[in-house]
Amino acid sequence: EAQVTQNPRYLITVTGKKLTVTCSQNMNHEYMSWYRQDPGLGLRQIYYSMNVEVTDKGDVPEGYKVSRKEKRNFPLILESPSPNQTSLYFCASSLQQGVGNIQYFGAGTRLSVL
């Protein structure tokens, strides 16, 4: 089954404790992206990757890191989480970056930073 898999689904952590949210897709997609969803703000893009070893900042990249060493994986790293990073996070992928391309989303990771 074609899917985007995120782990974990739920995570509670404390300020400053490094964490990684994994994202994997099995569709051989070139493009992958991370978003955060906050009430009243909709989805905002954090980082995206057009292909292996190619990443770029989205609209809200501060406090996040990403890497794309393999085509299928695109982990999101919070080196020193803070309470304002409490949010619902989604990973997405599409065949390529481009106008009209459909993005496929993971089920989400709900993060609470205390």
Pull the structure tokens for residue 114: 């205390």
For the bound state, the minimum distance from the C-beta of residue 6 to other proteins, rounded and expressed in Å, comes to: 8
For the bound state, the minimum distance from the C-beta of residue 108 to other proteins, rounded and expressed in Å, comes to: 5
Question: Stretches 12-20, 21-29, 69-77, 89-97: which one binds other proteins (CB under 8 A)?
Answer: 89-97
For the bound state, the minimum distance from the C-beta of residue 104 to other proteins, rounded and expressed in Å, comes to: 8
For the bound state, the minimum distance from the C-beta of residue 7 to other proteins, rounded and expressed in Å, comes to: 13
Pull the structure tokens for residue 34: 């991370």
Tell whether residue 33 is a contact of other proteins (CB under 8 A): yes
Tell whether residue 42 is a contact of other proteins (CB under 8 A): yes
How far apart are the C-alpha atoms of 47 and 107, rounded to whole Å? Answer: 18
Distances, alpha carbon 50 to alpha carbons 3, 6, 28, 37, 97, in Å: 18, 19, 12, 22, 6
Which helix (H) or strand (E) covers residue 50, if one does? strand 42-51
Among 92, 93, 111, 113, binds other proteins (CB under 8 A): 92
Distances, alpha carbon 42 to alpha carbons 66, 87, 96, 103, in Å: 21, 11, 23, 16
Positions that interact with other proteins (CB under 8 A): 4, 33, 40-45, 48, 58, 90, 92, 97-108
